[in-house]
Amino acid sequence: MIGSRKRTLVALLAVVGLAIGCAGPSATGGKFWRESSDASAAPDLARVNGLLADLAERLQPGLVHVRVQRTLKADTPREDSGEPRRSTGSGFVIDPSGLIVTNAHVIEGAAAIQVRLADGKRFQGKVVGRDNRVDLALLKIEGATGLTPLPLGDSNRLRVGEFVLALGNPFGLEQSVSFGIVSRKGAPLSVASPGFDFIQTDAAINPGNSGGPLVNVAGEVIGVNSMAARNGSIGFAIPANLVKMLLPQLATKGRVDWGWLGVSISEVTEDDLDRLKLREVRGVLVRSVLPGDPADKGGVRANDVIVGIDGARLESPRDLQRVVSSTPVGKRVRVVLLREGQETEVEVTIGLYQEREASSAEPPRREPRPPDAPKEAPK
């Protein structure tokens, strides 16, 4: 009995001692962590760190949050017809008068647009112009003062490997900044794009980042964030120089008039050399010609190989797309082509690209096409 009481007393004292030990001061002076007293980054890293933080802080006043209320389509199921659909995106100020750049798919089907500035003020946005082919839109807000426009840089000077910041409002989280590099300059995810190289980056571009600026370390907007792969690890931005080319048309006409030839095209391959009596693999193969379109009226035929337009040498289908798209509608151009191995020249009047209904409504989050997408592309 006495032995049992002793064991109970010893156990009780052990518990009390443990409690006192837990509540008492630790080896680090009463805290359960160690304070850092003199830790510091290497001078060069600290300088870069500070410069990036300063850059992000300087750019954020020009960033805006775009909120869209969409109208429901007539065929929307009854159970989904309670509240109009809402979505969000990003944009940035390019002119103190209230002009704002964003993506066309951000404002797709909008019944009302609200633009929230970095200081929290809200304004109703009006669509000035839009182009679904490149996915660019221009908005205008009235009554805002003290706006901070972000400058557009020269995207042609951008090099693969350069540091960039992607600003936006992903998932509705305002004033977000992600950091990365330029991964590539080349074809975007959308087949409808008119042959211009887009900027590929690994800076995170998530839903809601669309329309925000992609910025270089000099604080210049060198791209407009537009689309990303499903997991967000690959993002694409519309190059600033293309934006500069389109903004005047969006501001004055509300749209972009793209040039149109009316042919289905593909690359020339080794298998085509004998059949087409070619000496080398170059130029753009015309697979078919759309009846009544500019190429047909100008005398272009199927199996012709286009090698130049108005002195511009063409090496690939994207070269032809870029040249034709950027040529003013109604202009007569000299088309140099190879027909059964012989060089010939025809004159074609550039027509107007008509957007197809199937591509007129892009989803808010565009995904890449499968790797085996067809080579042929209309132009």
| Local structure of residue 152 (DSSP, 8 states) | B
Helix, strand, coil percent values for the chain (each to nearest 5): 25, 35, 45
Of the candidates 302, 257, 301, 264, which has an alpha carbon nearest to the alpha carbon of residue 379?
A: 264
* Residues near 125 by beta carbon (within 8 Å), at least 6 away in sequence: 66, 100, 107, 113, 114, 115, 139, 140, 141
Give backbone dihedrals phi and psi of 252, rounded to 5 degrees, phi first. -95, -35
pLDDT of residue 32: 81
d(CA 335, CA 313): 10
Q: What is the pLDDT of residues 119-166, one digit of tens each?
A: 999 999 999 999 999 999 999 999 999 999 999 999 999 999 999 999
The residue written with tokens 């933080």 in the block is 53
| Local structure of residue 27 (DSSP, 8 states) | T
Kindly report the number of other CB atoms within 10 A of residue 100's CB atom.
Answer: 28
Question: What residues are annotated to the active site?
Answer: 105, 135, 210
Residue 286 C-alpha from the chain's centroid: 30
**Domains of the chain (ranges plus CATH)?**
58-141 (2.40.10.10), 155-255 (2.40.10.10), 259-352 (2.30.42.10)
- Secondary structure (3-state) at 327: coil
pLDDT of residue 153: 96
The span from the first CA to the last CA of the chain, in angstroms, equals 101
Per the DSSP assignment, residues forming a β-bridge with 265 are 286, 377
d(CA 141, CA 123): 6
Per the DSSP assignment, residues forming a β-bridge with 288 are 264
Which contiguous run of DSSP H or E holds residue 371?
none
pLDDT of residue 313: 93
One pLDDT digit (tens) per residue for the chain, 379 residues: 555 555 554 454 454 454 445 555 555 566 788 777 777 888 888 898 899 999 999 999 999 999 999 876 655 555 555 455 788 899 999 999 999 999 999 999 999 999 999 999 999 999 999 999 999 999 999 999 999 999 999 999 999 999 999 999 887 777 789 999 999 998 776 655 688 889 999 888 888 889 999 999 999 999 999 877 666 578 899 999 999 999 999 999 999 999 999 999 999 999 999 999 998 999 999 999 999 999 999 999 999 999 999 999 999 999 999 999 999 999 999 999 999 989 999 999 999 998 754 333 333 334 333 333 334 455 6
CA angle 257, 260, 266 (to 5 degrees): 135
pTM for the model: 0.79
d(CA 285, CA 262): 13
d(CA 208, CA 63): 13
* CA distances to 20, 28, 30, 40, 152 from 34, in Å: 21, 7, 10, 16, 47
d(CA 335, CA 358): 30
